[in-house]
């Protein structure tokens, strides 16, 4: 099944939640880092237009948010 099929925000979030937490574990393994990753994947799920792969869209945004959080703390 192609990812370009439109899905609901909650189902997209649930599908990619663990992946976002793995990114947080790699880049900022703190409570704040995990929360940042979860908020970011929710935001990406809301903003994704269904074109291309979701992870290609969301990955850079989640990583940038984690790096900003790490610098701020």
Contact at 8 Å (CB) between 36 and 24?
yes
Residue 9 lies in a domain: no
Residue 8 lies in a domain: no
- Predicted pLDDT of residue 69: 85
Is the overall model pTM greater than 0.95, yes or no? no
Measured CA to CA, the distance from residue 72 to residue 61 in angstroms comes to: 17
- Predicted pLDDT of residue 5: 57
More confident residue, 50 or 1: 50
Q: What is the CA radius of gyration of the chain?
A: 12
Residue 12 lies in a domain: no
**Domain region containing 22:** 18-72
pLDDT digits (tens, 9 = 90+) for 26-50: 999 899 999 999 999 999 999 999 9
How many domains in the chain?
1
Burial class (CB in 10 A: 0-12, 13-18, 19+), 27: middle
Residue 49 lies in a domain: yes
- What count of other Cβ atoms lies within 10 Å of the Cβ of residue 13? 18
Confidence check: pLDDT of 24 > 60: yes
Residue 5 lies in a domain: no
Residue 33 lies in a domain: yes
Confidence check: pLDDT of 4 > 70: no
């Amino acid at each position: 099944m192609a990812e370009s099929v439109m899905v609901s925000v909650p189902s997209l979030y649930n599908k990619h939640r663990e992946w976002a937490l793995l990114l947080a574990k790699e880049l900022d393994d703190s409570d704040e880092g995990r929360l940042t990753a979860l908020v970011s994947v929710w935001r990406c799920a809301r903003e994704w237009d269904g074109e291309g792969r979701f992870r290609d869209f969301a990955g850079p945004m989640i990583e940038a948010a984690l790096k900003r959080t790490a610098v701020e703390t």
